[in-house]
Amino acid sequence: MNSHVSTGTLLVKEPLNFWGGARVKPKDTKNSEPVYEPATGRVLCDMIPCGEEEVDEAIKSAHSAYLKWSKLSGMERARFMLEAARIIRERRDEIARAEVANNGKSITEAQVDIDVAWQCIEYYAGIAPTLSGQHIQLPGGSFAYTRREPLGVCVGIGAWNYPFQIAAWKSAPAMACGNAMVFKPSPMTPVTAVMLAEIYKEAGVPDGLFNVVQGGAETGGLLCHHPMVAKVSFTGSVPTGKKIMEMAAKGVKQVTLELGGKSPLIIFKDCELENAIKGALMANFLTQGEVCCNGTRVFVQREIMPQFLEEVVKRTKAIPVGDPMCEATRMGALISKPHMEKVLGFIKQAKEQGAKVLCGGEQFVPNDPKLKDGYFVSPCVLDNCRDDMTCVKEEIFGPVMSVLPFDTEEEVLQRANNTTFGLASGVFTRDIARAHRVAENLQAGTCYINNYNVGPVEVPFGGYKMSGFGRENGQVTIEYYSQLKTVVVEMGDVESIF
C-alpha cells in the first residue's frame, strides 16, 4: 500500500488474514462479502471469513508464540514493542489513509487515531519491565511471593469505528503482560489490523504473537468457544457483548466488554460558554458521531439555552463534510449504506415524536462526482427533545446531538443517570465544588470536566452498567491481561495435625 492513496483509488488484493508470521490466503471463498469504501460506495476488497480450521490454526500459532514470549523479561518485550511503535510512527500516513478508505472518517482524525495507537504500544512497553509481584514475610523465616503471570492466548474482537486503534488498545497491554493475541476486526473494516500484524512482525516479535482472522459473528463464535483461548476482550454493541459473555462463561474465560453508550453532557449556566460549545461539538461529531463515548444527550441549563443553541447550530452548519482524504474536511462518510439509513431513520422518528431539527439530519451529496454514492449525513442538532424520545434513549451512532433543557443540579443528575448505559459523561461549569460533586454522582466510567472526548492512553477507559466492564488503557488494564500466582515457601519443618 502506498502513502499517496486518495479517495476512490485503493483496491486491496492481498490476503487479510495473518498468522504464523505471514499473510494467509483464505481456504474457502464461498462466504465472501464485499467491503465498501464509505466515501464512494465503491468495493474496496472482499472480506472472506475464516472457518473452524483457520481459527484453530491461528490460535495454535498464537499458543506457540506465547510459549516463547511469556519467557522473556519485561525489558526484552519492551524493546520489540518500542520498535513496533517507531514503525507505526514512520508509516503513520499510509496507515491513516488506509483507515480513511475503509472507515470513512476524516484524515485529520485518522492520523490522531494512529498516533494514539503507537502511544498506547509505547505506554505499555514502558510498563512491561515494571511488572512484578510482592514479597510477604511469614513466621519462622518462611515467606510467600506473588508472580504476575500472563493468561495465555487472548482473543480481541473489534468494532468498525476505530479499527487500528482498537487493535492496538487490545494487543499492547496483552503483549506487555506476556500473552499472545488473535484479533478479529469488524467484517466492515478488515484492512488495517493486518498492517499492525506486519508491523509487529517487522519489529521482531515471535511469529504468531499477534494474528488476524477475518470474519463476522460465526468466526467470532469460533474464537470465543476455542478451548485454548484464555480471555476475550470485546468492543462492540451491548447485544453482541451479552452473547460474548455467554460464550465465554461456558469455558470460564475472562472477558472485557467495551460496549455502547448514550452519555450525558451537562452544561451549567456558569460555564465558560465558548469551551462548552466546543466541548459539545467534540462530544457529538468526531468520526461522524460513530463514537461509543459520545455525549449525545446534551443537557443545557435553561437560562443559557438560546445563546448555546444559536452558537452550536452556527458552528455545526459550518462543519466541512466531504472527501475524508482532504485535509480541510472535518466530517467524512458513515460506515455503510444500511447504517446511514438507520441514522436517518432515527432522525425521522425524532421529528415524528416532536423534536425540531435545527440543522442537518439529511443525506448529503458532495459536489465532487466521485462522492455521489458515499454515505454522508449532514451533522444534526435536535431541539425540543424530551427524555422519553427514542433519539434521547437509544444509541444512534451518527452525527446527531439531542439538546435538553434543565433547571437544577439535582434534577439533571437524576435524568442523566436514568439510562441503562454508563460509558461516559461530561460537565461544564466554573464552580469547582459542583464539578466534582457532579462527577461523583454521575453513573459512568468516565466523567470529563470542562472538556469532552479526550482520551490519553495513560487514563483508564471503560463502562459502568450495561456499557460493560473491565478497562482499556492506563495501568489498571494490566490486571485484565494477567493473573497472580502465590508461591508459599516453608523454611522450617512441616507441622502436621495428622
Ligand X SMILES: C[N+](C)(C)CCCC=O
Ligand Y SMILES: NC(=O)c1ccc[n+]([C@@H]2O[C@H](COP(=O)([O-])OP(=O)(O)OC[C@H]3O[C@@H](n4cnc5c(N)ncnc54)[C@H](O)[C@@H]3O)[C@@H](O)[C@H]2O)c1
Contact 253, 224 (CB under 8 A): yes
Count of residues for the chain?
498
Say whether 170 sits in a helix, a strand or coil: helix
Q: Which residue has the cell 511488572?
A: 131
Between 243 and 437, whose beta carbon lies closer to ligand Y? Answer: 243
| Cα distance between residue 72 and residue 180, in whole Å | 13
Nearer to ligand Y, 52 or 272 (CB): 52
162 counts as binding ligand X under rule CB under 6 A: yes
In this structure, are residues 24 and 197 in contact, taking their beta carbons and an 8 Å threshold? no
Q: Which is nearer to ligand X, 161 or 179 (CB)?
A: 161
What are the cell numbers at 72?
522473556
SS3 state at 120? helix
**Angle between the 92-103 and 163-176 helix axes, to the nearest 10 degrees?**
130
Confirm whether 258 is a catalytic residue.
yes
* Integer Cα distance of 93 and 114 in angstroms: 9
Choosing from 41, 126, 129, 221, the residue that interacts with ligand Y (CB under 6 A) is: 221
User: Where does this chain touch ligand Y (CB under 6 A) — which range of 26-34, 136-144, 213-221, 450-458?
Assistant: 213-221
Which is catalytic among the residues 54, 57, 83, 258? 258
List the one residue out of 202, 208, 122 whose CA is nearest residue 168: 122
**Does 480 participate in binding ligand Y (rule CB under 6 A)?**
no
Closest CA to 91 of 2, 207, 16, 206: 2
Q: Which of 216, 405, 460, 474 binds ligand Y (CB under 6 A)?
A: 216
Number of C-alpha atoms within 13 angstroms, CB side, residue 426? 30
Given the complex with ligand X, which of 291 and 466 has the nearer CB atom?
291
From candidates 173, 190, 236, 426, binder to ligand Y by CB under 6 A: 236
Piece of the chain touching ligand X by CB under 6 A; list 193-201, 249-257, 285-293, 379-387: 285-293
Nearer CB in complex with ligand X: 230/466:
466
Angle between helices 193-203 and 163-176 (to 10 degrees): 40
Please state whether beta strands 446-449 and 376-377 pair in parallel, antiparallel, or not at all (unpaired). Answer: unpaired
Q: Tell the smallest beta-carbon distance from residue 460 to ligand X (Å).
A: 12
For residue 49, the SS3 value is coil
User: Which residues in 287-316 contact ligand X (CB under 6 A)?
Assistant: 291-293
d(CA 108, CA 292): 19
Query: Measured from the CB atom, is 97 or 184 closer to ligand Y?
Result: 184
Q: Binding of ligand Y at residue 423 (CB under 6 A)?
A: yes
Sign of CA dihedral 78, 83, 87, 92: positive
User: How near is the Cβ of 241 to ligand X at its closest, in Å?
Assistant: 14
Identify which range of 4-12, 255-263, 435-443, 473-481 contacts ligand Y by CB under 6 A.
255-263
Per-residue cell: 294: 459520545
Which cell numbers in the block locate residue 472? 482499556
Interface with ligand Y, residue 184, by CB under 6 A:
yes
User: CA 279 to CA 292: how far, in whole Å?
Assistant: 16
Strands 153-157, 468-469: parallel, antiparallel or unpaired by DSSP? unpaired
Shortest CB 453 distance to ligand X, Å: 5
**Site stretch for ligand Y (CB under 6 A), options 96-104, 184-192, 376-384, 400-408:** 184-192
- Residues in region 136-155 near ligand Y by CB under 6 A: none
| 204 Ramachandran zone, left/alpha/beta (phi>0; psi -120 to 50) | left
Pick between residue 287 and residue 329 the one whose CB is nearest to ligand X: 287
- Give the nearer residue to ligand X in terms of CB position, either 161 or 233: 161
Q: Please, which of residues 443-462 interact with ligand X by CB under 6 A?
A: 453, 455
Binding to ligand Y by residue 233, rule CB under 6 A? no
From the list ligand Y, ligand X, none, pick the one residue 48 interacts with, judged by a Cβ distance below 5 to 8 Å according to partner type.
Answer: none
Among 157, 182, 391, 442, binds ligand Y (CB under 6 A): 157
Cα 59 from Cα 407, distance rounded (Å): 55
Task: In whole angstroms, give the CA distance from residue 41 to residue 290.
Answer: 18
Q: Does 66 bind ligand X (CB under 6 A)?
A: no
290-329 footprint of ligand Y as x/- string (CB under 6 A): --x-------------------------------------
| Stretch in the footprint of ligand Y (CB under 6 A) among 212-220, 324-332, 360-368, 483-491 | 212-220
Residue ranges in contact with ligand Y by CB under 6 A: 157-162, 184, 186-187, 216-217, 220-221, 224, 235-237, 240, 243-244, 258-261, 292, 395, 397, 423, 463
Catalytic residue set: 258
Residue ranges in contact with ligand X by CB under 6 A: 161-162, 286, 291-293, 453, 455
